[in-house]
Structure 1
Amino acid sequence: MRYSALTLLLALSAATACVPLGTPITDPSAGRVGQASPVQAPRANVPLRFEDAVYDPDIQSVQCYVSTGQPTEIFAPPVVPLNQGNPIVLEFDLLGNQSRRLTARLVHCNADWTPSVLTDLQFLDEINEFNLTDYRTSTGTQVPYYHYRLRVPPVKLSGNFLLVVQGPDRQPLLSRRLLVYDNKMEVAAQLGLPPGGAARYTMQQVDFVIRYGAFPLVNPAVEAKVVLRQNFRWDNAKYGLRPTFVRDAEQQLDYQFFNFENAFPALNEFRPADIRSLRSGGLNVAGVNLQASPREIALLPEPTRAGRAYTQYEDADGQRVFESRDFLGAGATNADYVWTTFQLQAPAVAPGPVYVFGALSDWQLKEDFKLSYNAQQQLYTGRVLLKQGYYNYYFVVGRPGAAPDAAYFEGSYQPTENQYDVLVYYRPPGTRADLLIGYRPLVANGQEVQLRRGSLFR
């Protein structure tokens, strides 16, 4: 991700204020999408999913990041070292004209995101229930909402954590995956060239090594569990990678494969849409309907990019920023919700359902982001309620039991800039949970890193 120009393009304030918990604040005259009832109807038991999930349609615009004090902090994934110099922050909106008493808790998970058997006191120094007292009401918006913010407390152990926000009925409203690492091993990574003909032009391969030094590994090839991610996604992460070489003398594990085990489709730079202003059309906006309530924005019909020449430009790697340029103030509370219509030109029906995909959909194939095809117009269209801001996204084709196919409409080009990270887990003998003892981020084809081939595998 290239932040130099994005810092100027997307800088926004994150001002919030605390409102003490008390009697819920209501405004009977305020309307909203679907008109919320002043009294919440009881919900059936909702099973907790150990993934980034939203369980209540009133929860929108969830962001989870590391607070660094910089304008680009919202791009920092929820990954922190164990000493946690900077906290993880969760922000989201609750649509409607009534606030709720919300709490949050942490669940320690194993490397495969199953819950561990640790008790709360084994990874926390405080009671595992955090009140969300930092919230503000929206200002000057057609769609009323309450904006919540939570600083996640520090933990005592490394590993995977699921942050769960729940309502007064103790049912989950949203969940987010967090990572806390404690680097006990040295992890080094570089971008390699995938073997095999045309794949070198469409794939990106990440070669890496793990140097475990004096760390007590008896069977390092088995005990070190490795996960490889692209753009901090979990839906296409690589699990179960075994080292190709074990160098006992150097106490080093090499991961340099030849059958694409550690390779990803490079895809393309993300498509942008700027809906921060309702008074003037932003990037990729075809028109605005100010008479509708909520107001409506139509994006330009977009062509397929597969088979076309690659064009490099700065993007946000699928992320988004919430902001309104029409009014002064914090985008967290003065950005309105608008119906946004996506349009994709397609001469024929795709070999599967088509979705808008990115951080705006939690990197999942959600029904709200599914597009319908008009054969006469040769156009896929779909309408989604989005908060004003700057968005990145792909058009993808859903595939049963597999990661979405983004290359069908976006193409795949090796020079594309992507972010990768390597996660190394280990369960010490006699313990009951996996710890995250190695973490290494890498930017492929970006200005932030200098990639020197051949420097790792000496």
Structure 2
Amino acid sequence: MKTLIIILLLSFNTLNFHHGLISSVLEFTPPFLKSIKLKNYNQKGTLPFIIGDEKIELSFDDLTANENDYYYKISYHNSDWSESNLFKNEYLNGLDNIRISNFKNSFNTLKRYTNYKLEIPNNLIQLKLSGNYMINVYNTDDELQFSRKFLYVKPKIDVDGNVYRTRDLNLFLTHHNIRFEIVQDKVGYIKNPNNNLKIVILQNDQWFNKISKLKPQYQENKILKFRYDIISSFESGNEFLFFDTKDLRINGLNTSFINLEEVYHVYLYTDIPRKYSPYSFYQDLNGEFEIRTVLGSQNPDIESDYSWVHFTLAASIELPETKIYVMGNFNNYEPDDQNLMIYNKSLEAYELKILLKQGYYNYKYVAKTKSNWDFNLISGNYYQTENSYKILVYYRPPGEIYDQLIGLKELNSRNIFN
């Protein structure tokens, strides 16, 4: 499944990672911090959001296993993730910059680590305003270690929509089109929606290829209608690749063989570029990962071991002026050297190994050419692909200085319309 949150993009041919990922410096992660997961366990999808009294949980591992101290801070952001001008006490009740005190050391694992957990909201801090939030984790020297995004929604409007095949015949087989409408019954008439309303559409809960800056095309009573074609269309992509390492004693799904050295080494089957292959459906998690182990006493957070997972992508020649990365939610889609594949001329393949915790993982091969990023150069685009979409509706009333998140709608392309 692939989740799509509605954010408007005027350009959809390639993913602009430079704008969406590389510029998000705060989201890069030190190599000794692994398995970072921010999740609302009442929801599906990789982007957590809070409605009502729900909670989200942050979990991560420190591979130094020294029980280091970490502190968290909460920041508030505008709809485009620029930093808000609000003071902290305007969007938070309580105090942040608090030490994360819930941690446990791994048990019965070859690779030692310390697992940390944090719930938001908690007894020390509560959220006041709807909108975009970021949780930032610091070490004892007040150095930022990593950040993750989440949303707080206070529904005031209804959003309805569907996923369609685009009307452009050149894109009919390769793109998904999002059309939707906003019903204003709960909030009254939105004043000056062309300027005060901001729409964001996300695909598979990712911000780097968001669509935004959409304006209502027309209004019918209290209903604002968005019926765009090209500018509200996404590349449909392909299903994520996957593997399963919950049991390191046997070969799991898409696992060729396993060796035990200082830790386990898991060798996946060689992947083949799918761009020119017929579409084949299989259920995925839209880039998500789940920590699992069949060993131990049902506590995978501290009983799951780490292993080196070896990825191989077949390629008869090295692609000129192109870098290939392995990406998924497990590495926050970060295009750094830890996720960069190296071409092995003798094997005619790209190779990479990544240290990952036991579990079930989705991943994709992403290409960076000389001019841009192409998320689907290796996998191809097929309209049959199952994607999940979210439509986010922000509203800044006259006189306010922050963007309220007043509506959210989830769609799925399994119910695609012609």
- Structure 1 length normalisation: TM-score? 0.81
Q: Is the 8 A contact 2:93 2:127 kept in 1?
A: yes
CA RMSD in angstroms, aligned pairs only: 2.0
- Secondary structure at 1:200 match in 2: coil
After superposition, what is the alpha-carbon deviation per residue over 1:24-70, rounded to whole angstroms, capped at 9, x for unaligned?
A: xxxxxxxxxxxxxxxxxxxxxxxxx86772443221110011133xx
- The 1:170–1:80 alpha-carbon spacing in structure 2 relative to 1, beyond 3 Å, is same
Q: Which residue of structure 1 lines up, in the alignment, with residue 270 of structure 2?
A: 301
SS of equivalent to 1:332: helix
Q: For residue 311 of structure 1, what is the amino acid of its counterpart?
A: S
Task: Report the alpha carbon displacement of residue 92 of structure 1 after superposing the two structures with TM.
Answer: 0.5
Query: Aligned partners of 1:52, 1:227: CA distance in 2, in Å?
Result: 21
Aligned with 1:94 (options 43, 62, 71):
62
- Tell me the distance in 1 between the aligned counterparts of 2:135 and 2:376: 32
Q: Which amino acid aligns with 1:99?
A: E
Distance 1:54 1:140, change over 3 A: farther
Q: CA deviation at 1:452?
A: 7.1
How many residue pairs get aligned? The number is 392
- Larger RCO of the pair (alpha carbons < 8 Å, separation 6+): 2
> What SS class does the counterpart of residue 410 from structure 1 fall into?
coil
CA-to-partner distance for each residue in 1:294-326, whole Å, 9 max, x for gaps?
321111111111111111111111111112224
In structure 1, distance between residues paired with 2:237 and 2:201? 17
Deviation, structure 1 residue 75: 4.3
Equivalent residue number for residue 11 of structure 2:
none
Identity %: 28
Q: Contact between 1:229 and 1:237, CA under 8 Å: does it hold in 2?
A: yes
Greater C-alpha radius of gyration: 1
Aligned AA (2:153): Y
**2:313 alignment partner in structure 1:** 344
Structure 2 partner of 1:319: 288
* Pair 1:212 & 2:184 matched: yes
Q: Which secondary structure state, in structure 2, belongs to the residue aligned with residue 333 of structure 1?
A: helix
Matching residue's letter, 1:392: N
> What is the distance in 1 between the residues matched to 2:314 and 2:210?
30
Distance in 1, matches of 2:48 and 2:164, equals: 27
5+ long unaligned stretches in structure 2: 3-22
SS of 1:428's equivalent in the other structure is: coil
- Which residue identity is paired with 2:92? L
Residue of structure 1 aligned with 2:175, choices 181, 203, 208: 203
Give yes or no for contact 1:51–1:175 (8 Å, CA) kept in 2.
no
Query: How far apart are 1:420 and its partner, in Å?
Result: 0.5
Q: Is the 8 A contact 1:235 1:364 kept in 2?
A: no
Per the TM alignment, residue 342 of structure 1 is displaced from its structure 2 partner at its CA by 0.1
5+ long unaligned stretches in structure 1: 3-48, 454-458
2:375 aligned to which of 406, 416, 422: 406
CA distance in 2, matches of 1:234, 1:371: 23
- C-alpha distance in 2 between matches for 1:182 and 1:451: 28
User: Residues 67 and 74 of structure 1 are in contact (CA less than 8 Å); yes or no, is this contact kept in structure 2?
Assistant: yes
- Corresponding residue number in structure 1 for 2:18: none
Give per-residue Cα distances to partners, 1:246-298, cap 9 Å, x unaligned: 21x5133222213x2111111111111112222101111111111x2132111
Higher strand share: 2
- In 2, the alpha carbon distance for the partners of 1:364 and 1:55 equals 8
1:74 and 1:321 in contact (8 A); partners too? no
Look up the match of 1:53: 27
Question: SS where residue 127 of structure 2 aligns?
Answer: coil
Q: 1:312 to 1:452 in 2, by over 3 A?
A: closer
Cα 1:50–1:349 change in 2 (3 A) is closer
Supply the AA of the counterpart residue of 1:254: K
Which position in structure 1 is the counterpart of 2:363?
Answer: 393
The answer to whether the Cα contact below 8 Å between 2:105 and 2:114 also exists between their aligned partners in 1 is yes
Residues 1:174 and 2:138 are matched in the alignment: no
Could you tell me how far 1:358 is from its partner in structure 2?
1.2
